[in-house]
Amino acid sequence: MKFAVQVDDLRKVYRLKGETVHALRGVSFDVPEGDYVAIMGTSGSGKSTLLNLLGCLDRPSQGKILLGGYDTGSLSDDELSQMRAARVGIIFQAYNLIQQLTVLENIEVPLYYRGKVTPEDRRRCKELALMVGLKGRLDHRPMQLSGGQQQRVAVARSLINNPDYILADEPTGNLDSRTTEEILALFERLNNEGRTIIIVTHEDDVSEHARRVMRMSDGEIASDYQIENRRSALATAAS
């Protein structure tokens, strides 16, 4: 079995206003390639800290993270940036789009970290925009889009470098129920195509679409189980 992610004894300690905060306390788990994992927990449970570490946005205080077999702890900051650009697609709750750029230009942004953007790259940006349902919105700017459309831009942007896996931090937290189902249907389709997906959520309705649920509490994994009867967002979106 090949693993997209392997985590061993992961710990993260912050020092805030003279206090020591143990955000993660010895977390260990593996994620096989093609899995779809929902990480759940209350505010302060450590789930967002874990996602930031998996996305190479921060470094652990202790422990090891392997992404596709590569030990991220042995990489320089520049190498971590390259790893993030090449292997990881990140989707944020707040979309993190650049307001001055169009839909297509926002999708292009990760390409600039690797150098020149080619005409073929621009064709792929358009294909991804159409794939996530943004036909007729390619020249629009974020302020001209609904929340659901902005999240679709974020999803397309996360895919432009053909990442090994996708990390999503509360990607439906700002969306209505219909748009939530549409975004989850898109995740389900990507997972069925072989993408590994790790999603942080506090919503049970969202986690039920995953293949596996990890629940966190006080910086530790409280439970880790498979979903036997997954809900299908694809069927809901098609109806």
- CATH code for the domain of 153: 3.40.50.300
Cβ(58)–Cβ(27) under 8 Å?
no
77: its two tokens: 């900051």
Residue 175 has pLDDT above 80, yes or no: no
Backbone angles phi, psi at 113, to 5 degrees: -70, -20
- As for how many domains the chain has, the answer is 1
Question: Within 13 Å of residue 25, how many CA atoms lie on the same side as its CB?
Answer: 12
C-alpha span between 9 and 132 (Å, rounded)? 37
> How far does Cα 135 stand from its chain's mean position?
23
Residue 239 has pLDDT above 80, yes or no: no
Q: Which of 3-7, 108-112, 230-234 has the lowest mean pLDDT?
A: 230-234
Q: What is the pLDDT of residue 111?
A: 86
Which of the four pLDDT bands, split at 50, 70 and 90, describes residue 164? confident
Backbone angles phi, psi at 238, to 5 degrees: -80, -20
Cβ(63)–Cβ(34) under 8 Å?
no
Domain of 84 in residue numbering reads as 3-238
C-alpha span between 32 and 165 (Å, rounded)? 11
Q: What is the pLDDT of residue 236?
A: 66
pTM above 0.85, yes or no: yes
Distances 101 to 42, 97, 151 between C-alpha atoms, Å: 35, 8, 15
Cα 55–30–4 angle (5° rounding)? 55
Where is pLDDT greater, at 92 or 125? 125
Most confident of 161-170, 172-181, 228-237: 161-170
Q: What is the pLDDT of residue 18?
A: 81
31: its two tokens: 């994620």
